[in-house]
Amino acid sequence: MIKKICKIVLGIGFATFVFLGLYSFTVVANTPKIQPEKIYDYLSERSVLLDDKDQVIDSVSLEGGNRTNIKYKDMPKNLINAVVSIEDKTFWKHHGFNFWRMLGAIKNSLFSGGEISGTSTITQQLARNVYLSETKSVRSLSRKISEAYYTMVIEANLSKEKIMEAYLNTIYLGNNSYGIQSAAKSYFNKDAKNLDLTESAALAALPQAPNNYALVKKVNSAEGKTGKDSKNKILHENSDFIYYYNGDASKHRRDTTLKLMLSNNYITRAQYDKAIKENLADKMNIASTVAPDSTSYFTDYLIEQVAKDLMEKYKYSREEAIEKIYTGGYTIHSTLNQKAQKSINDVFANPSNFPKLSGIRYDKNKNILSEKNKVILSPHSSYFDKNDVFTLRKDEYRKSDNGDLVLLKNKRLKFITTKVNGKTDYSIDFKDLYKMNKGILYSIKGGTILVPQQYKSLDKDGNLVISKSFFQDKSLHNGKSQFFRETGDGYKVSKEHYKLNPTIRQPQAAMAITDYKKGHLKAMIGGRDTSGKKLYNRAIKPRQPGSSIKPLSVYSSALQQGFESASKGNPMKFKEFDKNQKTENYGDFWTAASGINDAPIKYNGKDWPKNWYPGYKGPLTMRKALEQSVNTIAVRIFQQIGSKYAIEQLKKFGITTVVEEGSSNDKNPAALALGGMSKGISPLEMSGAFGTFPNGGKRKDTVCYTKVVNRKGETILETNPKETTVLDKGVSFILQDMLVSTVNSGIAKNAKVSGQPTGGKTGTTSDSMDIWFAGFTPQYSAALWIGCDVNITINATSDLVSSLWAKVMNKATSGMGGSLLSKPDNVTSKDGEYFIKGTENGVKFNPKKENTEEKTDDDEENDNNETENKPDAGSDNPQNNNGAGGTQNN
């Protein structure tokens, strides 16, 4: 009987051995082959972003964390000994793993439900972290066999020192840090090679539970000082987060590490006694390692541009390009100038620099209305109670006989058809909302109730149906987290089950600063009173430019046409569009001295456009018309130029958002002469365009980096901004001078930068919804926009924006020398005006004999006269069917 039992046991053992052997062979055969000598090809490393002085401004990495790889020789001996003591005391002797522990783990997996428990050697951890990262949390038999196979391959191909180096560059140490170099910087703001014994033991204690043991706990500032961490020491605090000391969570393991180091003779008793008494919190230094959000708009834009160029050059998909940036260990040399960026940040951070809103129109329910009486924002309080609970009112739904809940259309919720994973989904969205706090308006771009996709459908009437099975899902409707809770008032939805978009202060603003000589973007901000990454960047979004478009589309086009005609020796021929045209004052060519009549223009029996000041001034020189931003004169010049020429010039200036097709195209004076465009122009493109004037008529494409270097030191991307000739150099000089006089003598006096020659142009759109200043100094060109994300009037004139622009540029250019474009050889002067040679003798207008009434201080404040929409879009008539013809300009 005993023999029989023994045979059975032996048979089972043999069968098990054979099965394990065959199974292991199958798993290994299907396991991807590796090359341990190329292990760093598998390790992601964060990319570093440098400014124009090669100083680090930020780093980027995947959500998995930051990583900077270093060599074994740069790793402190105490850290290596600490890790060996606490993680794998036989590391220097074994060949990858403990065989008996491995068999025990496999046996437990077979007979106890499929999971494997137990510790791993450093080599096993390395194999898991590098080659099995996607399944490293899975404790299955096949994964353990794959890990064992990789462990043996690593041990056979790498020295112990190389294994330790790779492990310490790989291991996660909390606080978004992978590897000891990133952790040393993150926690102590020092290189790993400079870690002392206590700091080394502290890091060695973290791998077992890096999230719980992380030496720093980051908490949102709004809740941090009242939360459970508030009793801990604050290491750093800013407007967004509080960083608490969390070293006590791992103190027991840190002390154990030091004891093991002592027992293994890695340290002396004196070293142990000193380290065990030291206060780790006093060694922490994270203030300078907390990445600021001050450059987030720039860095987000930079990453997108590098990704785009990688896609173009190397034919990567977008996903591949982004992964390369976030994991490739690139050094990205950006064009950002920290002084210029700080100048914008400082001015934008002061609320008193910005205007308030005025003329907000409400209905009886406190909804904010547009000019056409449409609701554009609803009060947050009309949706949510003081506890942020949304109540679905009884008149907003009905129950079907089968138990479905039907949300009715045309109520407070809207239903948007979308695609999720290739399948149709219906988003249950809140409409746009607002809050008022101390007279400040905050807008909220709606939000979404988070009902899972499988429970939603639309009926034939466009109502949204939530199936009864949704209410039967106990995970959604049990306890305090009940999703739709029925009450006498209707269904309640708590804040855990919906998501609102960010609360944004209004009005908003954006600005871009460009080194126009190099085509380098020096600073950018896409909003104010914002923080974080991947924000809505208004600096790259088009807005209606108002009169700031005039130097680009009207005045430079006219002078360039004059230059071209004079070069051919052919005097220009002008058309008389109405009795007030007076083309005899224009001269033989367009010049800064051409006389254009500020007088009514009749369209459909009405005067259009109107000026920002009352009445008309009669004939004015082109220079004076630009200085005073006269709308009628801009339209009269545009009539002669034509939309085709103006659009081509805008394209040369780098404007990419002109709409040439469709019923709401821009081929009309409301858009091209007065700036009421269908889409508009972005501050980034406007900044680059205005740099053309002081740059001799040449525009360089704007870039935000100079080169990208991989971790081997190879340059993989390099920029060489393309140069486009927009204007003759002489024409450019004359326009530059006209824009300087607009600041010195015209309506943009507040834009004057101290100690710097300054030129530029204001712009204000209908009802002051968009206000601009775009201009230049000898060093930079820059464009500033202020407006609302929703169409609400701003209580300000262009004077305020001009002043704000000057505040930024005073800071950005302080201490910098330079001069504007000097007079080219093809420019001459006569009677106090500049001319392209050959055009000065054709002047027939004498401004001294005409009405040259000057703008008064009262006129400068009267900045709110609006224009009207006019007929025939698509021609050179002023119609603009998108409503932008209402643009008023100064």
Taking 80 as the threshold, does the pLDDT of residue 871 lie above it?
no
Cα separation of 591 and 563, whole Å?
Answer: 9
- H/E segment holding residue 602: strand 602-603
Q: Which residue has the higher pLDDT, 131 or 848?
A: 131
Separation of alpha carbons 680 and 691, rounded Å: 19
The more confidently predicted of residues 295 and 403 is 403
> For residues 360 and 507, is the Cβ–Cβ distance under 8 A?
no
Q: Which tens digits make up the pLDDT trace of 3-36?
A: 666 665 565 655 555 555 555 546 455 566 667 7
pLDDT for residue 691? 99
Region of poorest pLDDT, from 95-104, 403-412, 436-445, 505-514: 95-104
Nearest-angstrom CA–CA distance, 79 and 190? 14
Question: Are 331 and 348 spatial neighbours (Cβ–Cβ below 8 Å)?
Answer: no
Please report the beta strands in 690-840, taking only residues with DSSP state E, as ranges in sequence order: 698-700, 705-709, 715-718, 723-725, 759-764, 770-776, 781-787, 827-830, 833-836
Report d(CA 890, CA 879) in Å as an integer: 20
- Residue 639: pLDDT over 80: yes
Q: What pLDDT, on the 0 to 100 scale, is given for residue 294?
A: 59
Identify the pLDDT of residue 146. Answer: 72
**Secondary structure of residue 485 in the 3-state scheme:** strand
Beta strands in 611-747 (DSSP E): 618-621, 698-700, 705-709, 715-718, 723-725
Q: Which residue has the tokens 């260990």?
A: 329
Beta-carbon count within 10 A of 569 CB:
7
Cβ pair 681, 674 in contact under 8 A: no
The length of the chain, given as a count of residues: 890
Measured distance CA(276)–CA(258) in Å, rounded: 7
pLDDT of residue 869: 34
Q: H-helix or E-strand containing 516? A: none
Closest CA to 267 of 481, 81, 56: 81
Does the pLDDT of residue 854 top 50, yes or no? no
Asked whether the beta carbons of 673 and 687 are under 8 A apart, the reply is no
Percent of the chain whose predicted confidence (pLDDT) is above 70? 82
- At 17 the pLDDT is 53
Is residue 280 predicted with pLDDT exceeding 50? yes
Burial of 28 (0-12, 13-18, 19+ CB in 10 A): middle
85 CB-near residues (< 8 Å, 6+ apart): 204, 257, 260, 261, 264, 266
- pLDDT above 90 for 320: no
**Rounded to whole angstroms, how far apart are CA atoms 211 and 65?**
12
Looking at the domain that runs over 64-292, which CATH code has it been given?
1.10.3810.10
Is 864 exposed, middle or buried (CB count within 10 Å of its CB: 0-12, 13-18, 19+)? Answer: middle
The residue-averaged pLDDT of 803-832 equals 97
| pLDDT over 60 (residue 341) | yes
**Rounded to a whole number, what is the distance in angstroms from the first to the last CA of the chain?**
109
In this predicted structure, what is the pLDDT of residue 843? 82
Average pLDDT over residues 642-658: 98
Maximum distance among all alpha carbons in the chain?
133
Whether 139 has a pLDDT exceeding 80, the answer reads no
Q: Are the CB atoms for 405 and 466 separated by under 8 Å?
A: yes
Stronger pLDDT, 397 or 146, i.e. the higher one: 397
- Residue 496's pLDDT is 84
Helix%, strand%, coil% for the chain, nearest 5: 40, 20, 40
- Reading the block at residue 454, the tokens are 């499988």
pLDDT for 222-278, tens place per residue? Answer: 444 444 555 678 887 765 567 889 999 999 999 999 999 999 999 999 999 999 999
| Residue 45: per-residue pLDDT | 72
Q: Is the pLDDT of residue 347 over 60?
A: yes
Question: Can you give the pLDDT at residue 867?
Answer: 31
pLDDT band at 394 (very low <50, low <70, confident <90, very high): very high
**Neighbouring residues of 6: CB distance < 8 A, sequence distance ≥ 6:** none
More confident residue, 325 or 538: 538
Q: What is the pLDDT of residues 744-766, one digit of tens each?
A: 999 999 999 999 999 999 999 87
Instruction: Report, in angstroms and rounded to the nearest whole number, the Rg of the chain calculated over CA atoms.
Output: 35
587 pLDDT above the threshold of 70? yes
Q: What is the pLDDT of residues 77-92, one digit of tens each?
A: 999 999 999 998 889 9
Residue 326 pLDDT: 80
Give pLDDT, residue 873.
Answer: 30
Distance CA 240, CA 218 (A): 10
| pLDDT at residue 641, as a whole number | 97
Strand ranges for 671-797 from DSSP E: 698-700, 705-709, 715-718, 723-725, 759-764, 770-776, 781-787
User: What mean pLDDT is reported for the chain?
Assistant: 85
* Distance from C-alpha of 890 to C-alpha of 884, rounded to nearest angstrom: 15
- Architecture of domain 509-886 in this structure: 3-Layer(aba) Sandwich (3.40)
Read off the pLDDT band of 97 (50, 70, 90).
low
Write down the pLDDT at residue 47.
87
Query: Where are the strands (E) in 701-859, listed by range?
Result: 705-709, 715-718, 723-725, 759-764, 770-776, 781-787, 827-830, 833-836
Contacts of 573 (CB under 8 A, 6+ apart): none
Distinct helix (H) and strand (E) counts, the chain = 28, 40
**What span, in angstroms and rounded, lies between the C-alpha atoms of 597 and 636?**
8
Query: Is the omega angle on the peptide bond into residue 542 within 30 degrees of 0, that is, cis?
Result: no
Dihedral (CA of 871, 877, 883, 888) sign: negative
Between 225-229, 489-493, 681-685, the lowest mean confidence (pLDDT) is in 225-229
The pLDDT assigned to 220 comes to 59
Question: According to the model, what pLDDT value does residue 571 have?
Answer: 96
Over residues 421-433, the mean pLDDT reads: 90
Amino acid at 764: T
Q: Which residues contact 406 (CB under 8 A, 6 or more apart)?
A: 397, 398, 399, 400, 459, 463, 464, 465, 466
Nearest one of 329, 210, 214, 200 to 260, comparing CA atoms = 200
Average pLDDT, stretch 455-468?
Answer: 95
Contacts of 510 (CB under 8 A, 6+ apart): 525, 526, 527, 537, 538, 539, 541, 683, 784, 785
Q: Which residues on adjacent β-strands are paired with residue 245? A: 216
Residue 787, helix vs strand vs coil: strand
Task: Please report the pLDDT score of residue 93 as a whole number.
Answer: 87
Write down the pLDDT at residue 879. 41
Strand 705-709 to 715-718 pairing: antiparallel
Task: Please report which confidence band the pLDDT of residue 420 belongs to, taking 50, 70 and 90 as the band edges.
Answer: confident
Structure-model confidence comparison of residues 487 and 198, the more confident one: 198
Check pLDDT > 90 for residue 389. Answer: yes
pLDDT at 136: 44
Q: What is the DSSP letter of 871?
A: S
- Mean predicted confidence (pLDDT) in 121-131: 83
Distance of CA 828 to the CA centre of its chain: 46
pLDDT at 864 over 60: no
Confidence band (pLDDT; 50, 70, 90) for 865? very low
Tell me: pLDDT of 168 over 50: yes
Given a cut of 60, is residue 318 above it in pLDDT?
yes
For residues 668 and 658, what is the distance between their CA atoms, to the nearest angstrom?
11
Grouping H, G, I as helix, E, B as strand and the rest as coil, residue 693 is coil
Averaged pLDDT, 454-463: 94
75 within 8 A of 193, measured Cβ to Cβ: yes
Backbone φ and ψ of 720, nearest 5°? -140, 85
The first and second tokens of residue 815, run together, are 């201490």
Q: Which candidate, 690, 702, 704, places its Cα nearest to that of 739? A: 690
pTM of the model: 0.74
* More confidently predicted of 99 and 338: 338
Q: What is the rounded average pLDDT of the residues 728-740?
A: 99
Mean pLDDT to the nearest integer, 593-611:
93
Residue 883 is predicted with a pLDDT of 38
Mean pLDDT of 833-854: 74
Residue that wins the pLDDT comparison between 294 and 325: 325
